């Protein structure tokens, strides 16, 4: 073969290989990236600091707070307001459980050691700020984490303080915080309008789906408080978020709410306490178990399991609480296991628990005593009559829908 022909064949071979190589290549594609995490929530005190404390400048401030009053990075609201330019923090007020959130029963006045400020208790001889406590103040500021449950008392402490501020002609500022149970679901029986008390300031459902700032807006208008109210909203919080989706650190808001699982069951399980049932207070898992010396654990777990309650499973439990109902007594009952929090209806769960105890242990369970937290005479009557809890829960639909319409103008977040 001639050299020229050989050269031509080699060239054709090289071109064919190059074409094959190029044909096998694909355009470079970016590796799929996981979605970016949502930005961490900034609570009201974070936003207030970012605004240079503008609403409080030139004012003498009274702060209603406890251990949950912190920035997202853990600094106390007390200390921030104490050091804020042109702001005079002149008084501190504490709710149930005191400034550190560790006390039970009535709480006396105290002193905040780091600042030397007097701490006026709003859960002692009075549950309202008295005129002498407000003397010389221009504005009250509220910064406490709520539990998202109708009968949690911090919201009533806020409302009572709003009433007294209105009487004194003072402004009221709420530094908003997340509803730990999300801001979407509205569940459970409504509080009867004639049963208002410290554990139920306004006719709300058991789980109301509102932030503390939104509640303040609703109370101010619907309860006709009429205080000069300013809510400092959060940034980046969305209604569907549970607390563990916010990027915020859980700070125990009261001694028994040690985690989000317990907070999730709390609106249902704590209904039982007045009926002579331990709800796990005095154990390491309050509200995740319940029982009494007169309960048969296997029987109750089997009965509740057969009820097919969405979002929760039940296992027999044996425990000895160290405090509260049946302290130091061996109890039998059930451990509640959260299987799907989005599917859980705490209103139905609460009625299922009440109905089960009334059906199985009528000579021991003190159903009538649970009315204070259940809050609905009609619901109590149906439980006593032995109605199916599923049907009882269906009976709340109209009232819950009316509440959704009532709350709509006061919501601050999408």
Residue 145 within any structural domain of the chain: yes
Rounded distance between C-alpha atoms, residue 375 and residue 190, angstroms: 7
Residue 77 within any structural domain of the chain: yes
pLDDT for residue 12: 38
Residue 305 within any structural domain of the chain: yes
Residue 33 within any structural domain of the chain: no
Spatial contact of 263 and 235, defined as CB atoms under 8 Å apart? no
132 and 74 in a common domain: yes
Rounded distance between C-alpha atoms, residue 254 and residue 256, angstroms: 6
Rounded distance between C-alpha atoms, residue 187 and residue 142, angstroms: 26
Structure tokens at 210: 């509102």
pLDDT for residue 138: 98
334 and 269 in a common domain: yes
Listed as ranges, residues in the chain with pLDDT below 70 are 1-38
Residue 341 — φ and ψ, nearest 5°? -70, -25
pTM: 0.91
246 and 183 in a common domain: yes
Residue 25 within any structural domain of the chain: no
192 and 58 in a common domain: yes
Residue 384 within any structural domain of the chain: no
Rounded distance between C-alpha atoms, residue 258 and residue 286, angstroms: 8
301 and 228 in a common domain: no
pLDDT for residue 39: 76
What's the CATH number where 289 sits?
3.90.1150.140
Question: Rounded to whole angstroms, what are the CA distances from 204 to 200, 217, 248?
Answer: 8, 14, 27
pLDDT for residue 365: 98
For 217-266, write each residue's pLDDT tens digit: 999 999 999 999 999 999 999 999 999 999 999 999 999 999 999 999 99
Q: How many domains does one find in the chain?
A: 2
264 and 244 in a common domain: no
Of the CA atoms within 13 Å of residue 310, those in its CB half-sphere come to 8
Residue 86 — φ and ψ, nearest 5°? 65, 20
Rounded distance between C-alpha atoms, residue 352 and residue 356, angstroms: 6
Rounded distance between C-alpha atoms, residue 136 and residue 131, angstroms: 10
Average pLDDT for the chain: 93
Rounded distance between C-alpha atoms, residue 113 and residue 249, angstroms: 24
Spatial contact of 141 and 45, defined as CB atoms under 8 Å apart? no
230 and 84 in a common domain: yes
What's the CATH number where 131 sits?
3.40.50.12170
Residue 14 within any structural domain of the chain: no
| Domain limits for position 94 | 44-253+406-410
211 and 333 in a common domain: no
271 and 235 in a common domain: no
pLDDT for residue 96: 98
309 and 194 in a common domain: no
pLDDT for residue 35: 65
Residue 400 within any structural domain of the chain: no
248 and 317 in a common domain: no
241 and 317 in a common domain: no
Q: Quick one: CA dihedral 185, 191, 197, 202, positive or negative?
A: positive
β-bridge mates for residue 291, sequence order: 278, 333
């Amino acid at each position: 073969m001639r050299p020229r022909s050989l050269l031509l064949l080699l060239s054709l071979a090289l071109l064919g290989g190059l074409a094959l190589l190029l044909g096998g290549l694909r355009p470079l594609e970016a590796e799929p990236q996981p979605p970016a995490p949502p930005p961490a929530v900034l609570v009201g005190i974070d936003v207030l600091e970012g605004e240079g404390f503008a609403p409080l400048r030139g004012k003498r401030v009274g702060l209603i707070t406890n251990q949950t009053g912190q920035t997202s990075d853990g600094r106390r609201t007390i200390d921030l307001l104490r050091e804020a330019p042109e702001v005079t923090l002149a008084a501190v007020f504490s709710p149930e459980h005191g400034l550190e959130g560790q006390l039970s029963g009535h709480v006396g006045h105290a002193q905040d050691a780091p600042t030397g400020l007097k701490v006026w208790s709003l859960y002692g001889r009075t549950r309202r700020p008295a005129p002498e406590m407000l003397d010389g103040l221009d504005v009250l500021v509220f910064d406490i984490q709520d539990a998202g449950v109708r009968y949690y008392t911090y919201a009533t402490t806020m409302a009572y303080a709003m009433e007294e501020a209105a009487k004194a002609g003072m402004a009221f500022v709420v530094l908003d915080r997340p509803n730990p149970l999300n801001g979407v679901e509205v569940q459970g029986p409504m509080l009867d309008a004639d049963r208002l008390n410290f554990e139920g300031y306004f006719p709300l459902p058991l789980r109301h789906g509102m932030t503390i700032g939104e509640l303040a807006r609703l109370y101010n208008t619907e309860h006709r408080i009429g205080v000069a109210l300013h809510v400092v909203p959060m940034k980046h919080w969305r209604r569907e978020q549970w607390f563990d989706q916010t990027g915020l650190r859980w700070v125990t808001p009261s001694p028994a709410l040690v985690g989000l699982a317990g907070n999730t069951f709390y609106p249902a399980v704590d209904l039982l306490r007045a009926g002579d049932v331990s709800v796990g207070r005095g154990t390491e898992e309050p509200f995740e178990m319940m029982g009494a010396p007169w309960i048969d654990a296997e029987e109750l777990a089997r009965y509740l399991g057969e009820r097919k309650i969405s979002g929760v499973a039940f296992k027999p439990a044996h425990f000895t609480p160290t405090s509260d109902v049946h302290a130091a007594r061996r109890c039998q009952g059930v451990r509640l296991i959260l299987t799907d929090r989005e599917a859980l209806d705490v209103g139905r769960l609460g009625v299922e628990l009440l109905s089960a105890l009334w059906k199985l242990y009528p000579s021991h369970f003190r159903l009538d005593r649970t009315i204070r937290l259940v809050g609905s005479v009609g619901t109590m009557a149906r439980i006593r009559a032995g109605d199916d809890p599923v049907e009882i829960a269906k009976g709340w639909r109209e009232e819950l829908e009316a509440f959704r319409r009532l709350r709509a103008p006061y919501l601050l977040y999408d």
